Amino acid sequence: MSQLRIQDYGSPVVAQSLKSLIGSITVPGILSGNNFLKDSNTRMRVNPGSCVTGQGVIITEDEIKYLSIDNTSTAVDYTVYYSHTDVNISGGEAATLTLQVGLLTQEVISGCILGYVRYPGGGIPLDQSHFIQPPTLKLGTVIPTTENANWIFPIKNNGYLTTYTSGATINITDTWTTYSPVGTPVISLTGSFTNGSTIITNVISTGLSTGMVVQGNIYIPSNTFIASVDSTTQITLTNAVTVTASSQSFTASTGQNIMYVKLRNNGIVTGIVTLTFPFKVGPLPYSLLQIILSTDINALVTPIFIDSIGDVVTLGSGYTGQSDFLLKTETIPQTMLQTPNTIVYLQLMVSLAIGKEARIQTLGLNSYNLPV
């Protein structure tokens, strides 16, 4: 066992205080690594990495873990997460990597969610495109909270209602992509390809690592990653190349599989659609909207909050023209009535010009102590 949990009860620092501090400045999720990769037609692997639980426990795993996925005839969704029980004993409790059927949310598990597997059925081999993972957390991008954010990964027809309000019908689809944030270093490479092989030779592998995204060449399939760095001159990919040739140029960079809902106007006039997300009010009222999204120019996403008695307020001026996935935040006015155990609603009104898109990756409402 080579797992480290920070901080455990009995450490020189007062562990309970440190966990409370960590839990107050972030939400559960991935801090680094934990990339999903296909290992075989029926097995996936989870790379070493760190994550944080809702109790503020940081779990660091330095071993590769493996999970088996049955090639079933019917479609099956799975949630991959570290299950952890926070107990006050020296050394703490080990976290267990868990694969559970269903698309679970953070509220129903004890630990931290690493991502999802959406196996499409038909008995087909497991593929890299079946893996979905949220972006890594960055301390400082989440306002300090006293309760965990109710994060929702907006999956089509699961967790929200759609109402077409005017104009063209908007196409709404689940989409996944390999995403590298702006500023991510890109390594330019050359190597020798063999048609049908996943091995690239005559490549300088300095700076490369397992899980990096490989692209920039028409003979490398989309959603291809480095499966292993075999030597200083050879790497193995997750997908086979489609040509035999030497001195082929390509790139490698750090990236993630993320899932998002794509809203696109394929009509001949402007269209507007509204997505409605219900949230149950806890002991504290919701005070902050946090949303990760990207939008085309002439694609506008406007958040709207509806309180316990139906009063409505627009949050901010809307988002448009941001090609990169970015975290946006809006404050919910204290004047909005939020009675504990009632339902409030967040709406996203999406206006799209012809051929334009909006892409919503995740969103959440947060509760925290506001000054009075």
**All structural domains of the chain with their residue ranges:** 3-132, 161-177+258-366, 185-254
Q: How many CA atoms lie within 13 A of 5 on its CB side?
A: 28
Letter for the amino acid at 81?
Y
Mention every residue, 6+ apart, whose C-beta is less than 8 A from residue 297: 320, 321, 356
The C-alpha atoms of residue 311 and residue 139 are separated, in whole angstroms, by 33
CA neighbor of 33 nearest in space, from 42, 44, 46, 43: 46
Q: What is the pTM for the complete model shown?
A: 0.52
Tokens of 88: 């006050």
Tokens of 207: 């700076």
Q: Which CATH class name applies to 185-254?
A: mainly beta
CA neighbor of 176 nearest in space, from 215, 131, 214: 131
Q: Which residue has the tokens 């989309």?
A: 222
Q: In what order do the strands lie in the sheet with 343-352?
A: 161-167, 271-280, 343-352, 299-306, 312-314
Per the CB < 8 A criterion, the answer to whether 267 and 354 are in contact is yes
CA neighbor of 332 nearest in space, from 289, 281, 363, 371: 289
CATH of domain 161-177+258-366: 2.60.120.260
Average pLDDT, integer, range 220-227: 82
Residue 5 pLDDT > 80: no
pLDDT single digits (tens) 21-46:
555 555 677 888 888 888 888 899 99
Residue 13 pLDDT > 50: no
Average pLDDT, integer, range 217-223: 85
The C-alpha atoms of residue 336 and residue 331 are separated, in whole angstroms, by 11
Range with the lowest mean pLDDT among 181-190, 191-200, 279-288? 181-190
The C-alpha atoms of residue 213 and residue 335 are separated, in whole angstroms, by 47
CATH of domain 3-132: 2.60.520
Classify burial at 287, counting beta carbons within 10 Å of its beta carbon; exposed 0-12, middle 13-18, buried 19 or more.
buried
Residue 6 pLDDT > 80: no
Q: Which residue has the tokens 């009222």?
A: 285
DSSP for 89-150 reads: SBT----EEEEEES---GGGSSEEEEEEEEE--TTPPP-GGGEE-PPPP-TTSS---SS---
